[in-house]
Structure 1
Amino acid sequence: MKRAALFFDIDGTLLSEVTHQIPESAVHALEEAKKKGHLIFVNTGRTICSIPEELKRLPVHGFLCGCGIYGEFEEEIFFEKHLDGKSADAIVKKAQECRVDALYEGKDDVYFSSRISRFDSLENTRKYMNNRGLGLERCIEQGGCAYDKLFAYEDEHSNSREFFDFLSDYLEILDRGNHTYECIMKGYSKATIMEVVLKKFGIGREDSYAFGDSSNDLAMFRYAGHGIAMGVHDPVLDPYAEYIAPAVEEEAIWQSMKHYGLIL
């Protein structure tokens, strides 16, 4: 079999949202695929600073982060793009005016407002990040916070249309459901960074495999030669999913890689 490039989402794909663990079978599958000479990348919406150390120990060749704006191979950065500071400060100001709360995600840290949010899920994210040493140095109101994407929360008290109309000049807006939105740099996606990788290593698109479960994996599925959806996945992936794996906890990664002959 020719060398292939494998691209894996984290949450709901490698990492179970039921057990909050990576199944041992998934780790073994990555090890086996690596031994066979395939290139293995984590392709995630998370920025590099928010990838836990335990995930960085996975047997992969590199990490592609921030929905296409950062790439590293064997700990060497080969691609990165950043939102300019003036635009970043303007977005924060507009979010405050429109009563939209957000997690602001950068390469080196994440940023929250100094005030407590009315959105419980955002406060839960704050606790999670703080426990990992992130989001503690500066609050977003201080200005000059280097971030490249944001995860926004809105409700009936928000002037959402005005905010998203303003934001669309800078970022692409992905509806993640339940009044939350992942806002990523325009012109970049999980697919654009895949294209960079394939060109860099001389691998054909037909030999690329995307493993995912959520709507922000859609670009990856549209681009990949083979799209593998986890057993529990957003239906938006269905038109582009070539194979539906079992649930993550039921050896989804191992079974799907075995199905394609990527491992024995």
Structure 2
Amino acid sequence: MINKIFFFDIDGTLAIKGKIPKSNLEALKCLKDAGYLTFICTGRAPFYAQDLFKDLVSGYICCNGRYILYHGSKLHGEAFSKDEIEFYKEKIDKLNLGAMFVSDDQSFVYHLNDQQIRKVQKEYGIERIESYRDNQNYYTFDLFYTNQYDEMVTAFQDDLIINDHGGSGDCDCSTINYDKGDGIAHLLHYFHINRHDAYAFGDGYNDQAMFREVGHGIAMGNAVDILKEKATYITDSIENDGIMKALKHYHIF
């Protein structure tokens, strides 16, 4: 039964600090058992998303739309050009920021201090972290800041959507010209599914791009206000079974 497709952000939507609530695990299992297509749609690295959800879903849109996996195989990749990477590095250097660039299966740290490196090693695994090097395919990057947040947002306002990770000193970045919505559009075309049969769940700023491409944009109760304004439905929070409640609202179960 491939007549509907569902897209889910991770942080604040499906999981809290890498932990998936029981209700969300149940929702993903029910969708899978019913034969629907389900995709994680995240700014996170492909290996992070796969390690967390494994075979609970049909596939993954990672790196804020630039990397797509379906049943474990790479379906699409939109790597940055060399000129684009140099452009971003120049701004990062000027603002004295740090960054973590993501390739197919590794992350490469750029100007991170020891504390920041320990943080990403703990989150992604020591074996996944290397020092930055040129001549890699990079699909996304996280920015790391100390007290330059406002300056950073202003500097990148024409280039990136900054999705801050709760004031923790780092954020993932979605490019203006290619985002989660483009990843969704690619899959709708690939599977020949009408946007009115597509559902997206999110809570952050970068999830606005998801709502642009689907017929049903569901904002979590804990979502940022601007996403709620663009939603077709606002459900309960992640802590209060928001995803399952929305699926029942739409009579999916």
TM-score normalised over the length of structure 2? 0.84
1:98·1:159 contact (CA, 8 Å) conserved in 2? no
Kindly report the root-mean-square deviation, in angstroms, between the aligned alpha carbons of the 2 structures.
3.0
Separation in 2 of the partners of 1:182 and 1:213? 14
Counterpart selection for 1:228 from 204, 211, 218 = 218
3-state secondary structure, aligned to 2:127:
coil
Percent identity of the aligned residues?
28
Distance 1:209 1:41 in 2: 10
User: Is residue 195 of structure 2 the alignment partner of residue 197 of structure 1?
Assistant: no
Note if 1:105 corresponds to 2:102. Answer: yes
The answer on 1:131 being equivalent to 2:128 is no
Distance in 2, matches of 1:164 and 1:9, equals 26
Shift in Å, 1:124: 6.0
* Preserved CA contact (<8 Å) 2:200 2:217: yes
For 1:84 and 1:36, the matched residues in 2 are separated by 40
Check whether the contact 1:3–1:37 (CA below 8 A) recurs between aligned residues.
no
Moved more, 188-197 or 178-187: 178-187
User: With structure 1 as the length reference, what TM-score do the two structures score?
Assistant: 0.81
Structure 1's consecutive aligned runs of 4 or more residues displaced over 6 angstroms after TM superposition are none
Higher Cα radius of gyration: 1
**How many pairs are equivalent?**
251
Contact 1:213 1:234 in 2 (8 A): yes
Residue deviations 1:32-67 (CA, integer Å, cap 9, x gap): 222223211111111213325232232x11111111
Which residue of 2 is the match for residue 147 of structure 1?
A: 138
d(CA) in 2 for partners of 1:225, 1:132:
40
Unpaired stretches in structure 1, ≥5 consecutive residues: none
Cα deviation, residue 145, structure 1: 4.5
Contact 1:61–1:74 (8 Å) recurs in 2: yes
Describe how 1:161-240 pairs up with structure 2 within 5 A.
164=155, 171-174=159-162, 176=164, 178=167, 182-240=172-230
Q: Which has the higher contact order (CA 8 A, sep 6+)?
A: 1
- Deviation of the 1:98 alpha carbon: 3.5
Deviations 1:207-247 (A, max 9, x none): 11010111110111222211111121111102211222222
Q: Of 8, 22, 25, which aligns to 2:23? A: 25
1:158 deviation in Å? 9.2
- Equivalent positions of 1:17-166 (< 5 A) are 17=17, 20-51=18-49, 53-58=51-56, 60-85=57-82, 87-89=84-86, 91-113=88-110, 116=113, 122-123=116-117, 125-129=119-123, 131=125, 133-135=127-129, 138-140=130-132, 142-154=133-145, 160=151, 164=155
Distance 1:261 1:72, change over 3 A: same
Q: Is 1:258 aligned to 2:248, yes or no?
A: yes
